[in-house]
Amino acid sequence: MREKVIPPNTAGGPALRADARRNRNQIIVAAKSLFRTSGLDVSMEAIARTAGVGVGTLYRRFPDRAGLVAAVAAQSFRDVLADVTEAKEVEPSAWDAFVRLATQSENLRLTVHLAFLSLQSWRDVHAAPESEGVHREMMSALEALVQDAQEEGSIRRDIGAGDALYLISVVLGNRSPGTDTMRGMSTERSLRLVLDGLRAEPSGALPGEPVTVQELNTRMKQGADTLEG
């Protein structure tokens, strides 16, 4: 799915010089990448290093950590918005679009962390007007998508969009030990189970094999072994 970084000149400051804009984008890309792979608590140094700039530059572009998080979030929300649009264009039904989004949008995975799963980042997002606005937009789009699916009869009517999004979030957002290993397995299976729970009519077979507790433990161990030695 798309991963463009759009110049955020909505905020109205003076246009950035070309190199400054390039740096800004590199930082956001680096932060997104690290947030995804290592969680939200990577150090500012690490982000700057990954972006190929100095910390000073990072702080020149973003007032503080909260500001950076907000900017990354705003970007992430925009990406999700684009993914929603794309999904609706590409898929035949609202349900299919919803499923596509839930199962295939990497952007959504990061977004749920930034918007739902961390108190700190939620605060950061809502302290910055820029991310606040696009957050609202994204939520509306998601809500509309759910409601469309309800109207076409594919999502049960006794739930709200909030229920659906919340549920999808916690499943997507989980970064438990072994998540990386499990991605193609447990998370996908879980998602399917959850989507089944959301459906008006139960679906058919699940992907993959049943996961035993033994299996679960093995994956944990693998995850933990990659922690640092």
Partner DNA sequence: GATGAATGAGATTTCATTCAT
Partner DNA sequence: TATGAATGAAATCTCATTCAT
Binding stretches for DNA (CB under 7 A): 14, 16-20, 22-23, 41, 43-45, 52-57, 59-61, 63-66
**How would DSSP label each residue in 81-133?**
HHHHHHHHHHSSSHHHHHHHHHHH-HHHHHHHIIIII-HHHHHHHHHSHHHHH
Amino acid at 97: A
Pick from DNA, a second copy, none: which does 171 bind, CB < 5 to 8 A by kind? a second copy
Output the six-digit token pair for 155.
């999502």
Judged by CB, which is closer to a second copy: 37, or 104? 37
Q: Should residue 169 be labelled a site residue for a second copy when binding is judged by CB under 8 A?
A: yes
Residue 199 pairs with which residues in a beta bridge? 155
CA distance 69 to 58: 12
Rounded to 10 deg, the angle between the 129-151 and 94-104 helix axes is: 130
- Which ranges of 152-187 does DSSP label H, i.e. alpha helix? 161-173, 179-182
CB 123, min distance to a second copy, A: 5
Pick from DNA, a second copy, none: which does 205 bind, CB < 5 to 8 A by kind? a second copy
Pick from DNA, a second copy, none: which does 142 bind, CB < 5 to 8 A by kind? a second copy
CB 53, min distance to DNA, A: 3
By CB under 8 A, name the binding residues for a second copy.
116-120, 122-123, 126, 139-140, 142-143, 158-163, 165-167, 169-171, 173-177, 186, 189-190, 193-198, 202, 205-206, 209-217, 220-221, 223-224, 227
